[in-house]
Amino acid sequence: MPYTDLSLRLTGRTNLPVLPNHVDIDLTNVCNQDCFYCNSADFRAKNLVTGRTNQYLNLLDQLANWRQHTPQSIGSIRNINFTGGGEPTVHKHIGPIMAHAIDKGFQVTLISNGSKLHRVVEGIPKDKIQSVAWIGIDIDSANPETYESIRRSLTRDTLYHTVVKNIKLAVDAGFRVDIKGLLMPQNTNEHELNALFEMVSYTGARQLHIRPYVDMDTNKLFEVTESLKKLIQTVAQKHNVKYRLPLGRETGRTYSKCHQMFLYPILAANGDICVCCEGRGQKKFLLGNWKNQDIRDLWWGEKHLEIYNSVNTHLCPPCKPNKINNLIQEDIDDPSKLERVVM
Ligand SMILES: C[S@@+](CC[C@H](N)C(=O)[O-])C[C@H]1O[C@@H](n2cnc3c(N)ncnc32)[C@H](O)[C@@H]1O
Ligand code: SF4
Ligand code: SF4
């Protein structure tokens, strides 16, 4: 399991620092849309920056050499996810930066609105495409009017048609593309769901990845009722299209400390090293600055432990790492689980 080394450390079975398993890299805080729900809108407005290409190449070199830098350590980075902040494909050199990550031995993933996905298709050499685990394109709706009412393109014309064209371009080039949507009142009727599943067939994407949105005003998760689950299943069957409906954010919290803070840093475009994927720009999650500090020297340092010990998750909104935090807590509550060797 990606978290087993961390469980060993948190249960006192090793004193070695554990390397992160997954790193989010924001290439820019600039965005060409203004989705009404966006959880990074405030952070973006205050830090409207794009990182420089050579800074990202150096950063990837540092991450790749972490074991040489800290020989007495366990765990390893498996995945680099390019996301935002803003819209990652707005960065002109996204293709070469992703290709560099692949050359350094990382599996890469991309979360994007797809508006400039052609830069990825053109910038990643064919022989590296298999190292891109998946590209997730957030569209929320396959009905152009609904799409625009949710995603509010900041361009003269809607980005909808460009995005559809780019999804096909990436699929045809051999990338594994998932179409993504946040479930919300606007897109959870039969007509909208039909359009979304049809879009997966039309573009040749791999599947539909849907999950409830979090209302940023109330911190509440959109309720995925049993009847909605049934409707989704029926529509998926009708179109013979695969879908994923992860509901990990919905389950209760069994942990009061956020263990994933040692597994999953967010390296923001302004240089922030943030240890909470929901907390870009919040001082209480700020470990340092990757542009003028070396993240490898800060990891498991005094500040990191201070953040871990001071954050009480009972004040947190529903979040993506909920599932992994619950699993780590299970190990902490019953460390004998760590003694089992699976053959
Ligand atoms: C901030 S976006 C940046 C990447 C890219 N611009 C995009 O839209 O895919 C990263 C991810 O956060 C998700 N996200 C943003 N606001 C959210 C919210 N209020 N609830 C749940 N997910 C959210 C988006 O759906 C997207 O998958
Ligand atoms: S495209 Fe992504 S970053 Fe931009 S507003 Fe929408 S969710 Fe936020
Ligand atoms: S919201 Fe809270 S529990 Fe979730 S990742 Fe952030 S700090 Fe951890």
Segment 232-261 shows an average pLDDT of 94
105 residue type, one letter: G
**Rg from Cα positions in the chain:** 20
Q: Cβ neighbours of residue 156 under 8 Å, at least 6 residues apart?
A: none
End-to-end CA distance of the chain: 13
Among all bound ligands, the one having the nearest atom to the CA of 213 is 1
Per-residue pLDDT band at 343 (split at 50, 70, 90): low
Question: How far, in Å, are 35, 87, 118, 147, 214 from residue 113 at the CA level?
Answer: 10, 7, 12, 11, 18
Q: Are 109 and 140 in contact (CB under 8 A)?
A: no
Segment 82-94 shows an average pLDDT of 97
DSSP assignment letter at 33: B
Q: How far is the CA of 331 from the centre of ligand 2 (A)?
A: 35
DSSP assignment letter at 74: B
Q: Coil, strand or helix: which one is 321?
A: coil
Return d(Cα 153, Cα 188) in angstroms, integer. Answer: 21
Query: Scanning the structure block, which residue is given the tokens 């957030």?
Result: 138
Tens digit of pLDDT for each residue in 300-332? 999 999 999 999 999 899 899 999 999 999 999
The backbone region for 293, taken as left when phi is positive above 0, alpha when psi lies in -120 to 50, beta otherwise, is beta
Helix (H) or strand (E) holding 173: helix 160-173
Protein residues with CB under 6 Å of any ligand 1 atom: 31, 37-40, 83-84, 87, 111-113, 138, 180, 182, 213-214, 216
CB of 319 within 6 A of ligand 3: the answer is yes
| Other beta carbons less than 10 A from residue 46's beta carbon | 10
Segment 225-234 shows an average pLDDT of 98
DSSP assignment letter at 218: T
Return d(Cα 204, Cα 117) in angstroms, integer. Answer: 16
* Smallest CA separation from ligand 1 atom 5, residue: 112
Q: How far is the CA of 70 from the centre of ligand 2 (A)?
A: 36
CB of 182 within 6 A of ligand 3: the answer is no
Q: Are 160 and 144 in contact (CB under 8 A)?
A: yes
Segment 115-131 shows an average pLDDT of 97
Q: Tell me what the pLDDT averaged over the chain comes to.
A: 96
Does 183 have pLDDT greater than 70?
A: yes
Per-residue pLDDT band at 251 (split at 50, 70, 90): confident
CB of 64 within 6 A of ligand 3: the answer is no
CB of 73 within 6 A of ligand 2: the answer is no
Exposure b/e, 277-298, CB count within 10 A at least 16 = b: bbbbbeeebbbbebbeeebbeb
CB of 49 within 6 A of ligand 2: the answer is no
Give the least confident one: 25-34, 74-83, 156-165, 313-322: 313-322
Segment 285-312 shows an average pLDDT of 98
Ligand 2 atom with the smallest distance to the CA of 31 is 4
**pTM confidence score:** 0.97
Segment 124-128 shows an average pLDDT of 97
